[in-house]
């Protein structure tokens, strides 16, 4: 366990299409539920109207810090850090047909906090013991974004491209990229070869097990 018996908090940030989800999936396989917990910025979006027209949805910028319930996000991280369990509803990305799951997140020796703005939110950045930055080349990240939004979220190609150029890229450059150099680890994820990411998570998880869990 880390100093003062407080959990060790890892921040994982990366732009859309950087491969955060796959990295986390690989990373979490190295630990049991009792050893690690995950809290995601995506579950702290401030709810917006379900009856937005397609055009309103296209124009609404989800890639701004003001769309996140920053206080709730930080309070839940603080409660987990204090050994408490948090309960909240997952965010369904403004999909009126989706039934949100009730998330019960129990504190653990290792807490992973992931999201676009976790370095920009200074109160959250200040409690991170390790900062990981995941990045990919623009064309690769866009291809991943297109695949996800077209298949999983039902957006049109035009909507995805509009959001990419007008929302996603400007937000990444303003609210995430400036913090790249203060991160402990920078992971370049330009391939779709799982072995590359698995090897990186093997190394980081081994070091964490020695440092935090031994």
Per DSSP, the three-state class of 157 is: helix
Could you give the angle at the alpha carbon of 12 between the alpha carbons of 75 and 170, nearest 5°? 95
Q: What is the pLDDT of residues 67-97, one digit of tens each?
A: 999 999 999 999 999 999 999 988 776 666 7
Q: What class is the 3-213 domain?
A: alpha beta
How confident is the model at residue 2, as a pLDDT?
44
Rg (CA), the chain: 17
* Torsion sign over Cα 49, 102, 27, 178: positive
Give domain limits for the chain: 3-213
Most confident of 10-19, 49-58, 97-106: 10-19
Q: pTM for the full model?
A: 0.90
* Backbone region of residue 71 per phi and psi (left: phi > 0; alpha: psi in -120 to 50; beta: other values): alpha
Helix or strand (DSSP H, E) at 24:
helix 20-28
Task: Kindly list the distances between the CA atom of residue 111 and the CA atoms of 4, 9, 28, in Å, as whole numbers in the listed order.
Answer: 15, 5, 11
Q: What is the pLDDT of residues 99-137, one digit of tens each?
A: 878 989 999 999 999 999 999 999 999 999 999 999 999
């Amino acid at each position: 366990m880390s100093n003062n018996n407080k959990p060790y908090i890892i921040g994982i940030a990366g732009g859309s299409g950087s491969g955060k989800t796959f990295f986390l999936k690989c990373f979490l396989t190295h630990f049991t539920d009792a050893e690690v917990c995950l809290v995601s910025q995506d579950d702290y979006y401030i709810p917006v109207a379900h009856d937005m027209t397609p055009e309103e949805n296209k124009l609404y910028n989800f890639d701004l810090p003001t769309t996140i319930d920053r206080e709730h996000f930080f309070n839940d991280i603080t409660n987990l850090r204090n050994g408490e369990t948090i309960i909240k509803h997952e965010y369904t990305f403004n999909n009126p047909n989706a039934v949100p799951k009730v998330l019960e997140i129990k504190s653990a020796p290792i807490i992973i906090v992931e999201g676009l703005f976790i370095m920009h939110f200074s109160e959250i950045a200040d409690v991170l013991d390790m900062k990981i930055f995941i990045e990919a080349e623009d064309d690769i990240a866009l291809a991943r974004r297109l695949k996800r939004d077209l298949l999983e979220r039902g957006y049109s190609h035009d909507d995805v491209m509009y959001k990419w150029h007008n929302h996603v890229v400007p937000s990444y450059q303003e609210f995430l990229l400036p913090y790249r150099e203060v991160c402990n680890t920078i992971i370049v994820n330009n391939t779709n070869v799982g072995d590359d990411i698995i090897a990186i998570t093997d190394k980081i998880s081994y070091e964490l097990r020695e440092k935090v869990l031994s």
